[in-house]
Amino acid sequence: MGFDTLKDEDKRYIRSIVSSERFSTGESNLDLHSRDMSGHRASRPEAVVWPKERAEVSRILRYADQRRIPVTAWGAGTSLEGNPIPLQGGIVLDFSQMDSILEIRPDDFQADVEPGVIYKDLNHKLRHTGLFFPPDPGAGATIGGMIANNASGIRTVRYGATKDNVLRLVVVLANGEIIEIGNRASKTSSGFDLLHLFVGSEGMLGVVVEATLRLVGLPAEFASAVATFQTVEDAGKAVFDIIGAGLDPAALELLAPECIDLINRQKNLGLHISPTLFMEFHGPTRNHLTEVMGIAEGLCREHDCREFRPGLDREERDRLLEARYALGDMIRQDRPGHVRISIDVAVPISAYPEMIAFAREAARKAGAGAAYTFGHAGDGNIHLVIETERGNREAWQRIKEANRSVVHKALALKGTATGEHGVGIGKAQFMEAEHGRSLEWMKKVKQLLDPHGILNPGKMFP
């Protein structure tokens, strides 16, 4: 599909919609919006616009649709699959100035926010209400970006991903039309579920300008523990039993020995360098959590658990969580001269041990400079980061083949090519294998809502 480049007349028109300081064609701003946190090749837009209200977004999209100018929405640029990279140039809509928390309704357990709100800032604002927004992808992600990618994180196993915590959206379609989908009721059976059509659509069907989020109460009590094992596969089997026992963990994170070693070096935590599970449980009373923790320890001991250390105090727990959130950054910083692929698959929980074993063997066969296995074990999500020296083409081809083999194994186990990073550029090659004929219907939905294909073109479809 052909697109037009941005002409002087286009720039003049857009400047008439937003103030001059919220429109830029400057080199530094174009470079800043040419890449995300992935290793995918940068691609510069022709202009960056910072909207402040939905009417501006509507007018810009209507004009861009008429002129066949590509438009890509931008949150914080923290995505890991090239999701917001403007492959066809055009306009980037940066929502960092559309960042108001519009209303908090604690009696309804809800908040209305604009897309540029950073989820950590929202939770900081909520701290005195006894509520929080549970999806936690770790980086400084915006609500709009989280909705676009259906982001999840450490506590997804208990509280769900972003899609489970969004009740209502206001969306601007490609032609500039503004629609409201969903409602503020806690449940509905009214009509087609358009809400979840837009969550996870990566800005390809419309641009979110407002969201009503579901909030949950802060737990009265929490209990955390660290368990170490002989092998990563043993840890995976313990995960299966903990979930199967109905213990309802709030977090259940797997960290392979190479990840523990890196965390120790970077954060001075002094953890035993072994395959490790970090687990956390939320509950109403300390007695309840003591009973749950006892059952969890027994299940871990059945799988050659070397050490089970419960009773982490808040400081220990916070330091370990901080290190887990920062692990991706630590990997990137540890070998700055390396290139890497971040593999993100998810499988049914029964297949988790098999998937872990396969992924680690694939990394070993690739003969990479380094490989790191970790993940949100409680919901069957595995991350495998494989890296090699920049410029080593032979090794890079082996890593790419390892990526393909791991994804196809996940699909063979009835899982998915992407548990939480989204499709973007990197996972588009696997969409046909995962979705089959239904991919054609996704394309038809895209054609219906964005007939000229201006919204985030070049993503998702191979």
The torsion angle over the Cα atoms of residues 356, 360, 362 and 366, rounded to 10 degrees, is 160
Query: Domain ends where: 190, 217, 244?
Result: 217
Q: What share of the chain is helix, strand, coil (3-state, %, to 5)?
A: 40, 20, 40
Note the pLDDT tens digit of each residue in 309-356. Answer: 998 788 888 888 889 989 989 998 998 888 999 999 999 999 999 999
Instruction: Give the chain's domain count.
Output: 3
User: Where is 224: in which H helix or E strand?
Assistant: strand 221-229
Assigned domain for 254 exists: yes
Assess whether 195 and 103 both reside in one domain. Answer: yes
Note the pLDDT tens digit of each residue in 180-216. Answer: 999 999 999 999 999 999 999 999 999 999 999 999 9
Q: What is the CATH number of the domain that holds 253?
A: 3.30.70.2190
Q: What is the CATH number of the domain that holds 138?
A: 3.30.465.10
Report residue 349 CA to chain centroid gap.
19
Residue 357 has pLDDT above 90, yes or no: yes
Assess whether 263 and 298 both reside in one domain. Answer: yes
Assess whether 249 and 200 both reside in one domain. Answer: no
Assess whether 117 and 200 both reside in one domain. Answer: yes
Assess whether 347 and 248 both reside in one domain. Answer: no
Please state the pTM of the whole predicted model: 0.94
Report the alpha-carbon distance of residue 58 to residue 56 in Å, rounded: 5
Note the pLDDT tens digit of each residue in 241-289. Answer: 999 999 999 999 999 999 999 999 999 888 999 999 999 999 999 999 9
Query: Domain ends where: 304, 327, 350?
Result: 327
pLDDT at 93: 98
Assigned domain for 69 exists: no
- Tokens 């360098």 correspond to what residue? 273
Query: Domain ends where: 303, 327, 351?
Result: 327
pLDDT at 412: 98
Assess whether 157 and 241 both reside in one domain. Answer: no
Assigned domain for 250 exists: yes
Structure tokens at 375: 């993940």
Cβ contacts of 124-132, under 8 Å, gap ≥ 24: 125/101, 126/215, 129/104, 129/215, 130/106, 130/217, 130/218, 131/106, 131/215, 131/216, 131/217, 131/218, 132/215, 132/216, 132/218
Residue 370 has pLDDT above 90, yes or no: no
Assigned domain for 199 exists: yes
Provide CB contacts within 8 A for 342, sequence distance 6+.
38, 80, 328, 383, 384, 385, 421
Structure tokens at 215: 């909030």
Assigned domain for 53 exists: no
Assigned domain for 37 exists: no
Give the mean model confidence (pLDDT) for residues 141-165: 96
Assess whether 257 and 152 both reside in one domain. Answer: no
User: Where is 12: in which H helix or E strand?
Assistant: helix 8-17
Give the mean model confidence (pLDDT) for residues 131-146: 93
- Tokens 């998810």 correspond to what residue? 346
pLDDT at 337: 85
Structure tokens at 311: 């009773």
Give the mean model confidence (pLDDT) for residues 161-175: 98
Structure tokens at 136: 């936690």
For the four alpha carbons of 438, 442, 444 and 448, in that order, the dihedral sign comes to positive
pLDDT band at residue 163 under the 50/70/90 scheme: very high
Assigned domain for 111 exists: yes
Rg, C-alpha atoms of the chain:
22
pLDDT band at residue 1 under the 50/70/90 scheme: low
Q: What is the CATH number of the domain that holds 389?
A: 3.30.70.2740
pLDDT over 90, % of the chain: 90
pLDDT at 147: 98
Assess whether 302 and 381 both reside in one domain. Answer: no
User: Where is 73: in which H helix or E strand?
Assistant: strand 71-74
Structure tokens at 397: 């081809």
Assess whether 229 and 204 both reside in one domain. Answer: no
pLDDT band at residue 29 under the 50/70/90 scheme: very high
Assigned domain for 57 exists: no
| Buried b or exposed e, range 312-332, using 16+ CB within 10 angstroms | beeeebebbbebbebbbebbb
Q: What is the mean pLDDT of the chain?
A: 95
Note the pLDDT tens digit of each residue in 64-84. Answer: 999 999 999 999 999 999 999
Report the alpha-carbon distance of residue 184 to residue 213 in Å, rounded: 9
Assess whether 253 and 203 both reside in one domain. Answer: no
Assess whether 230 and 207 both reside in one domain. Answer: no
Angle of the 232-244 helix axis to the 286-301 helix axis, nearest 10: 130
Assess whether 198 and 247 both reside in one domain. Answer: no
Do residues 397 and 390 lie in contact, with contact meaning Cβ atoms separated by under 8 Å?
no
Write out the residue range of the structural domain in which residue 307 sits.
221-314+322-327
Region of 391 please: left (phi>0), alpha (psi -120 to 50) or beta: left
More confident residue, 316 or 456: 456
